[in-house]
Amino acid sequence: MIDVAITGAAGKMGKTLIAALSESKVLNLAAAIEQPGQLSIGVDAGELAGVGSNGVTITDDLKSACASFEVLIDFTIAAATLENVAICQGENRKMVIGTTGLLESERAGLATAAKKIPIVHASNFSVGVNVTFKLAAIAASILGNDADIEITEAHHRHKVDAPSGTAITLGEVVAAQLDRKLADVAVYGREGTGGERDRKTIAFHSLRAGDIVGDHTVTFAGEGELIELTHRAQSRMNFAMGALRAAEFVSAQASGLFDMQDVLDLKSIHG
């Protein structure tokens, strides 16, 4: 069995990961971490996740917990993730990171840490979303500059970053196929009379409402035809199951920065 720790254990994603681990025959929950001062400290992680007692007590000390696990799964916020990377690098622990909203400099920091420890970092761990990334890349490579490209995403009202990391990844995937740099062509929403649309732009539109788990659509609009690729998440369990696949993958790596395309071997499929 591969011993795994969950940080952000009392959050929605953390509890879903704990529930998913309770069913795994390959991975074992060895530690559960939360921020100091949280009411969940000292609580049984399995009971908190609604799967029954598992004997793992939630703690607020990641460094001390490092002796008990091989892989840390981190779905938190940027500041916490960077602290956790530093600890795991120092303790030679492997990581799966699902935190979004990282700055370019912070992503560069992950690449530096990955020279010592293996890290899987992805904006979305859903297998279906990663298939959508691949399909979007194939569509962009075939359609070339003959289509306007718009990306729409919707999430629950509590999500703090916009556009979502998944939407940004979709934009990066498409831009790369078209030899464009996303930072140069991205448009975020529209207002006023800005003139005719520049075909080389890639536009993003974000909705925040209710309890939407996560919807993403990339639209390729040409003359007389429209292609829409849509993924709708119906629960967080699909993200958790993908993260567990990533944990199993990263446990076999010595170092390096990977994503879910590596985990699923989608890079071997050429469009």
Whether residue 116 sits in one domain with residue 6: yes
Q: Is residue 187 classed exposed, middle or buried when 0-12, 13-18 and 19+ CB atoms within 10 A define those classes?
A: middle
Can you give the residue range of the structural domain that contains 170? 127-233
Whether residue 44 sits in one domain with residue 115: yes
Q: Read off the pLDDT of each residue in 68-94 and give the average, rounded to a whole number.
A: 96
Whether residue 229 sits in one domain with residue 102: no
Adjacent-strand bridge partners of 204: 151, 188
Q: How far apart are CA 6 and CA 20, in angstroms?
A: 12
Using omega within 30 degrees of 0 as the cis cutoff, is the peptide bond preceding 163 cis?
A: yes
Q: Which among 65, 110, 64 is positioned nearest to 89, based on CA atoms?
A: 110
Q: What is the pLDDT of residues 18-39, one digit of tens each?
A: 999 999 999 999 999 999 999 9
pLDDT at 124: 87
Q: Read off the pLDDT of each residue in 221-243 and give the average, rounded to a whole number.
A: 94
User: 212: part of which helix (H) or strand (E)?
Assistant: none
Adjacent-strand bridge partners of 94: 71
pLDDT at 270: 64
Total structural domains in the chain?
A: 2
Tokens of 149: 């490209």
Kindly tell me the number of DSSP H helices and DSSP E strands found in the chain.
10, 12
pLDDT at 212: 95
Q: Which among 243, 268, 264, 191 is positioned nearest to 21, based on CA atoms?
A: 243
Residue type, 106: E
Write down the catalytic residue from 159, 181, 231, 270. Answer: 159
Q: Read off the pLDDT of each residue in 133-139 and give the average, rounded to a whole number.
A: 95
Whether residue 243 sits in one domain with residue 117: yes
Write down the catalytic residue from 155, 158, 205, 216. Answer: 155
Whether residue 221 sits in one domain with residue 207: yes
Whether residue 246 sits in one domain with residue 147: no
pLDDT at 130: 92
Whether residue 215 sits in one domain with residue 131: yes
What confidence category does residue 266 fall into, taking pLDDT thresholds of 50, 70 and 90?
Answer: confident
Whether residue 148 sits in one domain with residue 167: yes
Q: Is residue 98 classed exposed, middle or buried when 0-12, 13-18 and 19+ CB atoms within 10 A define those classes?
A: buried
Q: Any idea what the CATH number is for the domain that residue 255 is in?
A: 3.40.50.720
Whether residue 91 sits in one domain with residue 15: yes
Q: Phi-psi region for residue 71, left (φ > 0), alpha (ψ -120 to 50) or beta?
A: beta
What confidence category does residue 267 fall into, taking pLDDT thresholds of 50, 70 and 90?
Answer: confident
pLDDT at 204 over 70: yes
Whether residue 202 sits in one domain with residue 138: yes
Whether residue 155 sits in one domain with residue 75: no
Whether residue 243 sits in one domain with residue 113: yes
159 is catalytic: yes
Give percent of the chain with pLDDT exceeding 70: 99
pLDDT at 33: 97
> CA dist 235 to 15, 153, 159, 239, Å?
13, 16, 15, 8
What confidence category does residue 268 fall into, taking pLDDT thresholds of 50, 70 and 90?
Answer: confident
What confidence category does residue 64 fall into, taking pLDDT thresholds of 50, 70 and 90?
Answer: very high
Q: Read off the pLDDT of each residue in 121-140 and give the average, rounded to a whole number.
A: 93
Please give the mean pLDDT across all residues of the chain. 94
Give percent of the chain with pLDDT exceeding 90: 88
Q: How far apart are CA 139 and CA 132, in angstroms?
A: 10
Q: How far apart are CA 153 and CA 166, in angstroms?
A: 9
pLDDT at 271: 53
